[in-house]
């Protein structure tokens, strides 16, 4: 039996004696004492009851423990799906949750929807506090309860928000300033033009002299794009250059993917000719009215936290930059994300195979090979992932789910690249067109395409990563969605995600220093995604951030001061089966309760 972190109480004939819909009920002093004792051990209590919510809450307010419950679920719907939703909202696992109810049918239903859930009849309460599974940790100040109350407030406002993703953008109060670039902007402009890919429409790389020309234009019109919203300031996140009436530069940071800034600016410029190069993660809308952006005539620079004592390393695709501004936990954030190599091609650093190879002796051994490959460079093998500088590591495993593996001869050196279901690199026509015949011949003669990272290798890599973490460091894994987009480009990708998500679940269950931000309960249909199963609409990222916040605050990280809890568009929905038919015997539940007590 693993440690219990949440106890979910039924009300009638469980928390109190009697049925409130039939007359007065009697509060049980022992149960009140148990709820308070659990809170003082850092164990949270919630409620799942079939009752009239206003009546039940009014009765609960008569007691001294009303404020000890988080996210009480009181209505007439089946309990199984509601309990699963509650567990997801609190970012817990069923194996760490105990549900107490006087009806065997309700317990069986809850177990059917969440098979790892611990369930018991009220008889368990006689000796509950003596059970090692609820030993918890001393928390006399109720710090953990207060943290969950903050999360409760956030989820409550999120649930109350009604509307589509554009409604969310409207309430985000997005402000954009389009200003002439200055010499102080040169370094940032070089990053946008030479190192961005996802929202770089022209992909025309430049040298220093061209950059200087953009700051003091003679034959062109240029603009630096500054973006902020109610959640924070994103800084200089876009740039355009108009020459002879056509856009020669039109590049944006992926941290504002989903804002609609690129379409807003394109319309502002009267939709000039633009030759789009390669794949871009946004479509330029010529006719859509973008009424959620306000143009302003000045900007402010982002100010990093001056109070943070803990650091968070975020490692994954650059879309995760959309998550960072929504974090309420007071941490200093460092990033290791895909970037554009010196050659101008995208370099991904977040695959677990790249982490395994991130050793100076390994790079020294294969440096001549690395230096010949245009879509990676030696910088890709530098990481702070296994250093003790960051007490928390947030890692997206999606590159492991996605990339194909190319192995150099019969060695341990591999290059993860693009999609595992298509051989992009050892096709001579593609390589020769992009990199020339000499490189194409060399790569094809020396590399073998192996397809996806095997399930066995993925699990072994995760276990290795956990074993390499310094003591006291918590790993937070971000898994993948399992929705069927019916994509011809990536057919049946959701089934592939299901298999690899199951591996992540096993690893999380085995290690107390590993937590999961479970995308499955948040990205629940195609409207939550943009151009693939891996890229989500803007309103998803605040929800992901709230899940990360819960883990960080549970680890002792304080919230930033003067935080406003804002509404979000999407409420995670249960993916469990609805209204299961139960025909189990009460005696079986009594046996379960006895085993729990023992």
Task: For 266-303, write each residue's pLDDT tens digit.
Answer: 999 999 999 999 888 788 999 889 999 999 988 755 44
Residue with tokens 């279901």: 421
Confidence tier at 194 by pLDDT (50, 70, 90): confident
Give the model's pLDDT for residue 344: 58
Q: From its phi and psi, is residue 245 left (phi > 0), alpha (psi between -120 and 50) or beta? A: left
- pLDDT digit string (tens) for 250-273? 999 877 877 899 999 999 999 999
Give the model's pLDDT for residue 248: 96
453 and 403 Cβ atoms separated by less than 8 Å: yes
Instruction: Tokens for 481, please give them.
Output: 């969605």
The total number of structural domains in the chain stands at 3
Angle between helices 143-160 and 541-554 (to 10 degrees): 170
Q: Is 82 helix (H, G, I), strand (E, B) or coil?
A: helix
pLDDT-wise least confident of 300-309, 366-375, 387-396: 300-309
Give the model's pLDDT for residue 564: 39
Q: Are strands 414-417 and 392-396 parallel, antiparallel or unpaired?
A: unpaired
Residue 36 lies in a domain: yes
Rounded to an integer, what distance in angstroms lies between the CA atom of residue 251 and that of residue 216? Answer: 19
Give the model's pLDDT for residue 154: 46
Domain match, 156 and 173 both: no
Q: Which CATH number is 79's domain given? A: 3.40.50.1000
For residue 256, give Cα distances in angstroms to 134, 174, 274, 334, 538.
Answer: 44, 10, 20, 18, 8
- pLDDT digit string (tens) for 487-521? 888 999 999 999 999 999 999 999 999 999 999 99
Note the helical H segments in 366-519: 367-370, 398-402, 428-435, 437-446, 455-468, 493-510
Rounded to an integer, what distance in angstroms lies between the CA atom of residue 19 and that of residue 28? Answer: 13
Q: Are strands 73-75 and 44-50 parallel, antiparallel or unpaired?
A: parallel
Domain match, 410 and 359 both: yes
Instruction: Indicate whether 577 pLDDT > 50.
Output: no
Most confident segment among 234-238, 417-421, 443-447:
443-447
Instruction: Indicate whether 569 pLDDT > 60.
Output: no
Domain match, 130 and 171 both: no
Residue with tokens 């919230």: 559
Confidence tier at 572 by pLDDT (50, 70, 90): very low
Instruction: Indicate whether 458 pLDDT > 60.
Output: yes
Domain match, 171 and 157 both: no
Contacts of 276 (CB under 8 A, 6+ apart): 201, 202
- pLDDT digit string (tens) for 132-153? 999 988 888 887 787 677 667 6
Among residues 158, 152, 160, 134, which one has the least CA distance to residue 73?
152
Number of Cβ atoms within 10 Å of the Cβ of 446 = 15
Rounded to an integer, what distance in angstroms lies between the CA atom of residue 548 and that of residue 154? Answer: 13
Residue 51 lies in a domain: yes
- Which of 242, 267, 295 is the C-terminal boundary of a domain? 295
240 and 265 Cβ atoms separated by less than 8 Å: yes
Among residues 532, 535, 520, which one has the least CA distance to residue 572?
520
Q: Which residues share a beta bridge with 97? A: 6
Instruction: Tokens for 574, please give them.
Output: 């249960």
Give the model's pLDDT for residue 342: 60
E strands within 43-198?
44-50, 73-75, 97-100, 118-120, 174-179
366 and 413 Cβ atoms separated by less than 8 Å: yes
Give the model's pLDDT for residue 165: 58
What is the separation of C-alpha 438 from the centre of its chain, rounded to a whole number of angstroms? 41
Q: Which CATH number is 218's domain given? A: 3.40.630
Note the helical H segments in 90-131: 104-113
Q: Which residues share a beta bridge with 336? A: 315
Give the model's pLDDT for residue 209: 85
Instruction: Indicate whether 416 pLDDT > 70.
Output: yes
Instruction: Indicate whether 118 pLDDT > 50.
Output: yes
Instruction: Indicate whether 72 pLDDT > 90.
Output: yes
Domain match, 290 and 319 both: no
- Which of 295, 324, 350 is the C-terminal boundary of a domain? 295
The fraction of the chain above a pLDDT of 90, given in percent, is: 57
Residue 435 lies in a domain: no
Confidence tier at 574 by pLDDT (50, 70, 90): very low
Rounded to an integer, what distance in angstroms lies between the CA atom of residue 265 and that of residue 361? Answer: 47
Residue 419 lies in a domain: no
The fraction of the chain above a pLDDT of 70, given in percent, is: 87
Residue 443 lies in a domain: no
Instruction: Tokens for 588, please give them.
Output: 């079986």
What is the separation of C-alpha 57 from the centre of its chain, rounded to a whole number of angstroms? 33
Rounded to an integer, what distance in angstroms lies between the CA atom of residue 559 and that of residue 527? Answer: 31
Residue 300 lies in a domain: no
Contacts of 410 (CB under 8 A, 6+ apart): none
Burial of 139 (0-12, 13-18, 19+ CB in 10 A): middle
The sign of the torsion formed by the CA atoms of 293, 294, 300, 305 equals: negative
- Which of 261, 295, 329 is the C-terminal boundary of a domain? 295
Domain match, 212 and 133 both: no
- pLDDT digit string (tens) for 308-364? 889 999 999 877 888 887 888 999 999 898 776 666 566 788 999 999 999 999 999
Give the model's pLDDT for residue 216: 80
Domain match, 337 and 395 both: yes
- pLDDT digit string (tens) for 370-380? 999 988 888 88
Largest CA distance in the chain: 86
DSSP state of 33: H
Give the model's pLDDT for residue 14: 96
Rounded to an integer, what distance in angstroms lies between the CA atom of residue 176 and that of residue 127? Answer: 60
Domain match, 270 and 367 both: no
Among residues 595, 394, 509, 577, which one has the least CA distance to residue 93?
509
Confidence tier at 584 by pLDDT (50, 70, 90): very low
Instruction: Tokens for 435, please give them.
Output: 């990199």
Q: Stretch 404-433: mean pLDDT, rounded? A: 87
Contacts of 562 (CB under 8 A, 6+ apart): none
Contacts of 578 (CB under 8 A, 6+ apart): 78, 81
Q: Stretch 513-538: mean pLDDT, rounded? A: 91
- pLDDT top residue among 17 and 577: 17
Domain match, 252 and 181 both: yes
Note the helical H segments in 24-78: 29-40, 53-60
Instruction: Indicate whether 582 pLDDT > 70.
Output: no
Residue 45 lies in a domain: yes
Burial of 536 (0-12, 13-18, 19+ CB in 10 A): buried
Q: Stretch 396-410: mean pLDDT, rounded? A: 95
Q: Are strands 447-452 and 404-408 parallel, antiparallel or unpaired?
A: antiparallel
Instruction: Tokens for 204, please give them.
Output: 């025309």
Predicted TM-score (pTM) of the model is 0.58
Q: Which domain holds residue 530?
A: 313-414+454-554
Instruction: Indicate whether 425 pLDDT > 80.
Output: yes
393 and 382 Cβ atoms separated by less than 8 Å: no
- Rounded to a whole number of angstroms, the distance between the first and last alpha carbons of the chain is 11
Confidence tier at 563 by pLDDT (50, 70, 90): very low
Mean pLDDT, the chain, rounded, equals 85
DSSP state of 375: T
Q: What is the CA radius of gyration of the chain?
A: 27
Give the 3-state secondary structure of 184-236: HHHHHHHHHHHHCCCEECCCCCCCHHHHHHHHCCCCEEEEEEEEEECCEEEEE
Residue with tokens 């245009």: 374
- pLDDT digit string (tens) for 217-227? 878 899 999 99
Residue 427 lies in a domain: no
Domain match, 146 and 91 both: yes
Domain match, 362 and 465 both: yes
Domain match, 378 and 410 both: yes
Q: Which CATH number is 361's domain given? A: 3.40.50.1110
Residue with tokens 């000890």: 68
Among residues 227, 345, 191, 203, which one has the least CA distance to residue 275?
203
Instruction: Indicate whether 108 pLDDT > 90.
Output: no
């Amino acid at each position: 039996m693993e440690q219990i972190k949440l106890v979910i109480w039924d009300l009638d004939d469980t928390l109190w004696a009697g049925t409130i819909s039939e007359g007065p009920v009697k509060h049980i002093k022992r149960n009140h004492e148990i709820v308070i004792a659990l809170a003082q051990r850092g164990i949270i209590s919630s409620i799942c009851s079939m009752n009239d919510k206003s009546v039940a809450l009014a009765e609960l307010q008569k007691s001294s423990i009303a404020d000890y419950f988080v996210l009480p679920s009181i209505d007439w719907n089946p309990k199984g799906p509601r309990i699963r939703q509650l567990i997801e909202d609190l970012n817990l696992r069923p194996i760490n949750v105990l549900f107490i109810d006087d009806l065997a049918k309700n317990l069986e239903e809850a177990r059917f929807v969440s098979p790892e859930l611990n369930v018991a009849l009220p008889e368990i309460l006689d000796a509950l506090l003596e059970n090692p599974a609820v030993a918890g940790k001393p928390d006399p100040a109720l710090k953990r309860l207060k943290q969950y109350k903050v999360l409760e407030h956030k989820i409550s406002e999120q649930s109350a928000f009604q509307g589509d993703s554009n409604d969310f953008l409207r309430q985000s109060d997005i402000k954009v300033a389009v200003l002439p670039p200055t010499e102080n902007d040169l370094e940032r402009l070089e990053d946008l033009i030479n190192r961005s890919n996802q929202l770089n429409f022209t992909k025309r790389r430049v040298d220093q002299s061209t950059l200087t020309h953009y700051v003091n234009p003679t034959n062109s019109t240029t603009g630096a794009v500054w973006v902020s919203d109610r959640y924070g300031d994103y800084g200089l996140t876009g740039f355009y250059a108009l020459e002879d009436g056509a856009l020669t530069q039109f590049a944006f940071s992926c941290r504002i993917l989903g804002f609609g800034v690129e379409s807003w600016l394109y319309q502002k410029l009267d939709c000039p000719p633009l030759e789009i190069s390669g794949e871009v993660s946004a479509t330029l809308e010529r006719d859509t009215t973008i009424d959620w952006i306000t143009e302003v005539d000045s900007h402010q620079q982002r100010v990093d936290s001056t109070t943070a004592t803990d650091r968070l390393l975020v490692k994954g695709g650059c879309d995760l930059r959309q998550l960072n501004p929504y974090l309420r936990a007071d941490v200093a954030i460092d990033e290791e994300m895909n970037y554009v190599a010196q050659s101008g091609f995208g370099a991904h650093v977040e695959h677990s195979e790249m982490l395994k190879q991130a050793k100076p002796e390994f790079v020294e051994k294969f440096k001549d090979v690395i230096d010949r490959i245009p879509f990676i460079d030696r910088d890709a093998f530098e990481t702070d992932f296994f250093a003790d500088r960051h007490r928390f590591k947030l890692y997206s495993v999606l590159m492991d789910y996605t990339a194909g593996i190319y192995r150099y001869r019969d060695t341990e050196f591999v290059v993860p690249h693009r999609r595992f279901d298509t051989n992009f690199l050892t096709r001579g026509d593609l390589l020769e067109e992009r990199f020339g015949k000499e490189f194409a011949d060399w790569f094809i003669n020396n590399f073998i395409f192996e397809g996806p990272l095997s399930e066995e290798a993925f699990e072994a890599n995760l276990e290795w990563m956990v074993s390499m973490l310094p003591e006291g460091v918590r790993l937070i894994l971000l898994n993948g969605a399992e929705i069927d987009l019916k994509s011809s480009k990536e057919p049946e990708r959701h089934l592939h995600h299901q298999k690899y998500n199951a591996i992540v679940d096993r690893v999380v269950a085995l290690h107390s220093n590993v937590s999961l931000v479970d995308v499955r309960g948040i990205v629940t249909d195609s409207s939550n995604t943009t151009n693939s199963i891996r890229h989500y609409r803007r309103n998803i990222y605040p929800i992901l951030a709230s899940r990360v916040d819960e883990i960080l605050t549970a680890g002792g990280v304080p919230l930033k001061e003067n935080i406003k809890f804002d509404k979000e568009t999407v409420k995670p929905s249960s993916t469990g089966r609805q209204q299961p038919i139960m025909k189990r015997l009460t005696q079986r539940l009594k046996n379960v309760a006895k085993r729990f007590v023992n």
